[in-house]
Amino acid sequence: MVRLATNVNDPIGDMLTRVRNANLAYKDDLVVPASKMNEAILRILAAEGYIGGFEPEGEGIERVLRVALKYDAKRQRTITAIQRVSKPGRRVYVPKTRIPRVMGGMGVSVVSTSRGLMTDREAREAGLGGELVCQVW
């Protein structure tokens, strides 16, 4: 079983940093601590085609998520950059009319709304604003 550090002030930032570092090192998979928020973000990344997928491992306090990273046929990265926007020290909220487009629509913003986490496109269609969690391109 994989043991992970548990004393983290920003678990979302920790997960995004793990994905960023593994992607830069061309790793095939990585392990992140399991939480509902991490699962929701990974579900969006998988649906948008940035990662190959993820699956839970372990039970109880030892529960982790194994993330499969995705590369193209020439081993080029699908994730160019992944950036945390709203942080514990500075929360960033946006109304439905000011949700930013990442790279002119080529990337995706993850927005935490009253209906759960969704992409910037889904939030605009639903007419919802919320906390801007991260951006991926």
CA-only gyration radius of the chain, Å: 15
* CATH class of the 82-136 domain in this structure: alpha beta
Taking residues 81-100, what's their average pLDDT? Answer: 97
Side chain identity, residue 124: R
Q: CATH 3.30.1370.30 in the chain, residues?
A: 11-69
Q: Which residues pair with 132 in a beta bridge?
A: 111
Q: How many CA atoms lie within 13 A of 133 on its CB side?
A: 26
**Domain with residues 11-69, CATH architecture:** 2-Layer Sandwich (3.30)
Taking residues 62-84, what's their average pLDDT? Answer: 96
Q: Which residues have CB under 8 Å from 115's CB, separation 6+?
A: 126, 128
Residue 61, pLDDT above cutoff 70: yes
pLDDT for the residue numbered 3: 64
Q: CATH 3.30.1490.10 in the chain, residues?
A: 82-136
Residue 85, pLDDT above cutoff 70: yes
